[in-house]
Amino acid sequence: DTAVSQTPKYLVTQMGNDKSIKCEQNLGHDTMYWYKQDSKKFLKIMFSYNNKELIINETVPNRFSPKSPDKAHLNLHINSLELGDSAVYFCASSQPPLAGGPQYNEQFFGPGTRLTVL
């Protein structure tokens, strides 16, 4: 069974369109993330949600809006797509750090969604 799944795997679209990428995890984790990997393979965090609440928002344009209908899902909606949005987008999940415990936990990544904006 897939732990973290993303759909679609590939997305090709025209500039100016609006598109969504879906992410689901069946690990029972409370925290989910979106990462962007650019053409140089550099990964950078975009958003993090803990139990449906936004906890990290890393200077991402307003055209990007994450939506978490429940703690197992974190979707990414992108308005008015631009050429520079072309990248691979990875979803991930983890358990949040426990109060008083180690302030880190392993993250589990989805397979990625390759977005190409023409």
Running DSSP on this structure, what letter comes out for residue 98?
P
CA distance to 7, 42, 45, 53, 95, per residue, from 106 (Å): 23, 19, 15, 20, 8
Which of residues 1, 40, 62, 100 is near another protein by CB under 8 A?
A: 40
- Pick the closer one to another protein by CB: 5 or 13: 5
Q: Does 56 bind another protein (CB under 8 A)?
A: yes
The residues, ordered by sequence, that sit 6+ positions from 25 with a Cβ below 8 Å of its Cβ are 3, 4, 5, 32, 72, 91, 93, 108, 110
Minimum gap (Å) between residue 89 Cβ and another protein: 11
Number of residues that bind another protein (CB under 8 A): 28
Residues that bind another protein (CB under 8 A): 31, 33, 35, 40-45, 48, 55-56, 88, 90, 94, 96-97, 102-109, 111-112, 114
